[in-house]
Amino acid sequence: MGRKFIVGGNWKCNGTVDEVKKIVSTLNAGDVPSGDVVEVVVSPPFVFLPLVKGSLRTDFHVAAQNCWVKKGGAFTGEISAEMLLNLEVPWVILGHSERRALLNESNEFVGDKVAYALSKGLKVIACVGETLEQRESGSTMEVVAAQTKAIAEKISDWTNVVLAYEPVWAIGTGKVATPDQAQEVHSELRSWLQAHISPEVAASTRIMYGGSVSGANCKELAAKPDVDGFLVGGASLKPDLHAPNQKLRETIVPSAKSYPLDAIMKDCKDYFLETGRRVSFEYTLLAGVNDGAEHAKELAELIHEWGPGYHVNLIPFNPIEGSEYQRPYKKAVQAFVAALESRKVTVSVRQTRGLDASAACGQLRNEFQKSPLQPDSNKPQAQLDVAAIAC
């Protein structure tokens, strides 16, 4: 019998009550294959587990993001496996790279946590993966094998274990392992299971991929024979951008007027200063709304406050049937491009066809490789990661 595909959403330390309700509503309305084809697991922060558990569709499951290594007691701030069972939460994520790195969770400690959670009846998504330094040194499989070995030494039954390979260098960075890179590690990890556990465990254990998975790369990754699913981080917090026409008309297009550029730029600057990640820009042009030369000048001036090296991808928005908003004429787009380029901002134009909600929103993308920012000694080193939506 084939391995059932599994998709997990790790919301990390994000969300408010209202935001969680919106995400759950989007999930509940999703058109997803039946549970015998794909398994869906969402992992909100602990404080939202009861809310999500109580409102999420019944064919989706809920996971905790961590649990303690033993029974509860004098362990301030921890959550025990018994508490999760009491809330009827069936899954838990253990060994995530952020906990290994930030909280110094060792391979052995993660192995103990996996064993205890399984002993109490929880299903476990156990994370393994290498850093960029380890990959570049050629020790990827050595690292991943050691992490898996620490788990294997503590358990005998792999029925309720799903492994999640998450190359640390591809988590939240916008970088992603190529499908071939992901398949190579998944295949070698399965070979390790066959050699050190059993052929049966190797054949049946599902191995998820978790490193900046998005709608843009998931199809090609999923086609690989040893990729059995995805553990999605930040992208799991974003609602489906391919929305129906009415939603476009009511929520997307009016944002061009309601969210001024200086507010967008301030949010991006705050994010950059907080995280050190690079911001790129996708700017959706709407005829008579934000396609004038004065808008190009405003955009360029705001960009130059950040220093050199920026690029803008223009998206002339196609008209929505029955909408007052129209795609700008070719000459208007050319004038906008000329105005930006005259102010030393590099530009590309991405044409759209039909009701491309993704383009209209300026979907977060990472394929536009920019020249690096000039580092400022008083600011964090920038890394390409995030795109600003400038409708």
CA–CA gap between residue 233 and residue 43 (Å, rounded): 10
- Residue 314 to residues 13, 82, 323, 391, Cα–Cα distance (Å): 33, 52, 21, 10
CA 21 remoteness from chain centre: 19
CA–CA gap between residue 127 and residue 105 (Å, rounded): 12
Which is it for strands 123-128 and 161-165: parallel, antiparallel or unpaired?
Answer: parallel
In the chain, where do the E strands start and end? 5-10, 38-43, 61-64, 91-94, 123-128, 161-165, 207-209, 229-232, 277-285, 311-316, 346-349, 383-390
Query: Are 6 and 126 contacting, i.e. CB atoms less than 8 angstroms apart?
Result: no
- Residue 286 dihedral angles phi and psi, to the nearest 5°: -120, 130
**DSSP of 150-187, one letter per residue?**
HHHTT-S--TTEEEEE--GGGSSSS----HHHHHHHHH
Cβ neighbours of residue 58 under 8 Å, at least 6 residues apart? Answer: none
Known catalytic membership, residue 166? yes
CA–CA gap between residue 84 and residue 161 (Å, rounded): 17
Would you call 242 exposed, middle or buried from its count of C-beta atoms within 10 A (0-12, 13-18, 19+)?
Answer: middle
Identity of residue 333: V
Q: Across the strands, what pairs with 68?
A: none
Catalytic pick from 39, 130, 166, 282? Answer: 166
Catalytic pick from 39, 61, 96, 98? Answer: 96
Write the Ramachandran bin of 166: left for phi over 0, alpha for psi from -120 to 50, otherwise beta: beta
E strand or H helix that includes residue 239: none
Known catalytic membership, residue 184? no
Instruction: Please give the positions annotated as active site.
Output: 96, 166
